[in-house]
Amino acid sequence: MTSFRTALTLLTATPALAHVLPAVSGDVAAAKPCTTGTPVVTAGYTINYALATPTATGTFRNGYQPEPGWAGEHVVGTYTFGVPTPIDAGFAYAQFKCQYYCNSQTSGSFYAKYAGADSRDGSYCHCYDDLLDPDTFVEGNQTLVGTWNSICSGTDMPAKLPEHE
């Protein structure tokens, strides 16, 4: 999947389109991708991102994650957050914290994963410079996960995810 930034760069660099497209400033090219949606409240914590769940949720018995090749290409930040008990509410709090960390990374999406009861890390937070495409998730190794896409605000234009057949 081509990132918003890459597509914008390719379009503005194409000589045949140079006279049709307006000049693009650095601010526009650096804009983070976003989509439409509504913030979600989970365990009392508001996540100001749209939930991005896999298209084929029934096929992932051990949870899901972004496709590793895509994730490696688009990651802009990672962090760990503790998960206080009870675990469900604690993981909701970790996702809440993850969104603010990713906002500081100018990311378009994030993935949070519970590290497991035996881990000292609590949870893993990964921020990406593009939107997560629900059709490209793959099998993971943890069932307590959250995948989120940035919601456009004000004059932001939503990025359309590619259509799959």
Overall average pLDDT of the 19-38 stretch: 61
- Please give the Cα distance from 65 to 146 (Å, whole number): 9
Residue 45 lies in a domain: yes
Residue 86 lies in a domain: yes
Residues 49 and 67 in one domain: yes
Residues 89 and 74 in one domain: yes
Residues 47 and 125 in one domain: yes
Residues 22 and 38 in one domain: no
CA angle (146 as vertex; 68, 120 as ends), nearest 5: 85
Residues spanned by the domain of 126: 32-150
Name the 3-class secondary structure at 96.
helix
- The distance of Cα 17 from the centroid of its chain, to the nearest Å, equals 30
Residues 1 and 65 in one domain: no
Residues 66 and 119 in one domain: yes
Q: State how far the alpha carbon of 3 is from the alpha carbons of 67, 90, 107, 117, 121, in Å.
A: 15, 32, 12, 35, 30
CB under 8 Å to 9, separation ≥6 — which residues?
A: 29
Higher pLDDT, 29 or 63: 63
Q: State how far the alpha carbon of 115 is from the alpha carbons of 9, 14, 86, in Å.
A: 37, 45, 15
Mean pLDDT of the residues in the chain: 80
Q: What percent of the chain has pLDDT over 90?
A: 58
Residues 130 and 67 in one domain: yes
Q: State how far the alpha carbon of 129 is from the alpha carbons of 37, 72, 83, 90, in Å.
A: 18, 11, 25, 26
* Number of structural domains the chain divides into: 2
pTM of the model: 0.75
Residues 39 and 16 in one domain: no
Residue 159 lies in a domain: no
Q: What is the pLDDT of residues 103-159, one digit of tens each?
A: 999 899 999 999 998 888 999 999 999 999 988 899 998 889 999 999 998 755 555
Residue 123 lies in a domain: yes
